[in-house]
Amino acid sequence: MEFRYLGNSGFKISEITYGNWLTHGSQVENDVAAKCVRAALEAGITTFDTADAYANTAAEVVLGDALRHEPRASVEIFTKVYWPTGRKQHNDVGLSRKHIFESIDGSLKRLQTDYVDLYQAHRYDVETPLEETMQAFADVVRAGKALYIGVSEWNADQLRAGSALAKELGFQLISNQPQYSMLWRVIEQDVVPASAELGISQIVWSPVAQGILTGKYTPGAEAPAGSRARDDKGGADTVKGFMTDEVLTAVQGLAPIADDLGLTMAQLAIAWVLQNENVASAIMGASRPEQVADNVKASGVKLDADVLSRIDGAIGAVAERNPAKTSSPEKRPA
């Protein structure tokens, strides 16, 4: 496993992060989830990402249980705040001072830790003054409950405004967590250049496009049993935008490229996002321990210019590049 600095800081994380969205507390049983975390640790992953909203706080509980015997200094634990949690009442959502302070305490209790290494704004909150949000994050850091602050799916203007306020308040934004893959490149035009300018790294989610880039889905064929596209607990909704014959046909064109490199298609997809110098880590999920051991082999893989060109040729116009699709909700969810 290789490690990279996160943003303009001295903080290093594993270039593959283990994430438990859609799995822990929902799609897989807790004992399997614990085995996946153990497999991640054995593979050299030290960075673990979750959120209070995942499985309505249950994912944090599962991760906390799985990591409780690990020396705290040897792992990096990330969580997030924004989406509705708990009873989902009027103040149980957003980035108000009240919600941030209540949420960090709840997350720490569930994760069985005194602090998180990175606390992230899960989306931009258009209903709370940015000054209030950033002041609350500054106070969370000063209270020792989070070491660093990051965001998720903020656009370039939001990153600039948030970064400026953070500096005024004596801390810095060091990360953004956007969706990024061969098929979803919306951050490349605006977010990545702004982030590089501001000293912010990307921790990218869905580098395998929710499993699409593994090649297991083929055009005109029914999705395999047990796959995310067949999951009725939320998984199918996350992949349906990619489940078109045009996209699936283009993805099949990646198979010979992966074969030539001695990689699986999933390893190729993860290695591809890590070629972007602004990407510090790629988040990988798993529903089986063997998936972890397989996908971590993407760490350290270097793709030359010819390979990158072949990938672009295979994917062609099916990749989404519209920077406007980097966005947060226009109003808080009910």
Residue 271 · residue 298 · CB < 8 Å: yes
Give CA separation, 247 vs 136, 168, 244, 315, in Å.
42, 45, 5, 8
Q: What is the pLDDT of residue 232?
A: 59
Whether 255 shows a pLDDT value over 90: the answer reads: yes
pLDDT value, residue 233: 59
pLDDT reported for residue 250: 94
172 vs 242, more confident: 172
Task: Please report, in angstroms and rounded to a whole number, the separation of the first and last CA atoms in the chain.
Answer: 41
pLDDT of amino acid 225: 59
Distance CA 27, CA 29 (A): 7
Which residues, 6+ apart, have CB-to-CB distance to 205 below 8 Å? 19, 21, 177, 178, 179, 180, 283
pLDDT reported for residue 237: 66
Helix (H) or strand (E) holding 279: strand 279-284
Degrees, nearest 5: CA angle 206-126-164 = 85
Higher-confidence residue of 328 and 202: namely 202
Q: What is the pLDDT of residue 218?
A: 85
SS3 79: strand
Least confident of 183-197, 215-229, 296-310: 215-229
Percent of the chain exceeding pLDDT 90 equals 81
Q: What is the mean pLDDT of residues 306-333?
A: 94
Query: Does residue 142 surpass a pLDDT of 70?
Result: yes
| Mean pLDDT, residues 108-131 taken together | 98
pLDDT for the residue 203: 98
Please report the pLDDT score of residue 170 as a whole number. Answer: 97
Asked which of 51-60, 109-118, 222-231, 284-293 is least confident by mean pLDDT, the reply is 222-231
| Cβ-contact 272, 182 below 8 angstroms | yes
pLDDT in tens, 274-292: 999 999 999 998 888 898 9
- Between 16 and 217, the higher pLDDT residue: 16
DSSP structure class, residue 179: B
Give me the pLDDT at residue 30, please.
73
Give the model confidence (pLDDT) of 47-62 as tens digits.
Answer: 999 999 999 999 999 9
Catalytic positions are 54
Rounded Cα–Cα distance for residues 297 and 80 (Å): 27
Q: Within 13 Å and on the Cβ side, how many CA atoms surround 175? A: 33
Residue linked to tokens 């989306």: 123
pLDDT at position 28, please?
57
pLDDT band at 243 (very low <50, low <70, confident <90, very high): confident
pLDDT for 89 equals: 93
Q: What is the DSSP letter of 260?
A: H
pLDDT at 86 over 70: yes
Element (H, E) at 105: helix 97-111
- pLDDT score for 32: 84
Q: Is the pLDDT of residue 17 over 90?
A: yes
Report how far residue 104's alpha carbon sits from residue 90's, in angstroms, rounded to the nearest whole number.
Answer: 18
In order of 11, 23, 164, 222, 253, the CA distances from 75 in angstroms are 12, 20, 29, 40, 38
Q: Please say if the pLDDT value at position 108 is more than 80.
A: yes
Out of 3.20.20.100, 3.40.50.150, 3.40.50.2000, 3.30.450.20, select the CATH number for domain 3-325. Answer: 3.20.20.100
pTM beyond 0.75: yes
Asked if the model's pLDDT at residue 14 lies above 90, the reply is: yes
Give pLDDT tens digits for 176-194: 999 999 999 999 999 999 9
DSSP characters for 179-245? B-BTTB-TTTTTHHHHHHHHT-EEEEB-TTGGGGGGT---TTSPPPTTSGGG-TTTHHHHHGGG-SH
pLDDT at 227 over 70: no
Percent share of the chain, pLDDT over 70 = 92
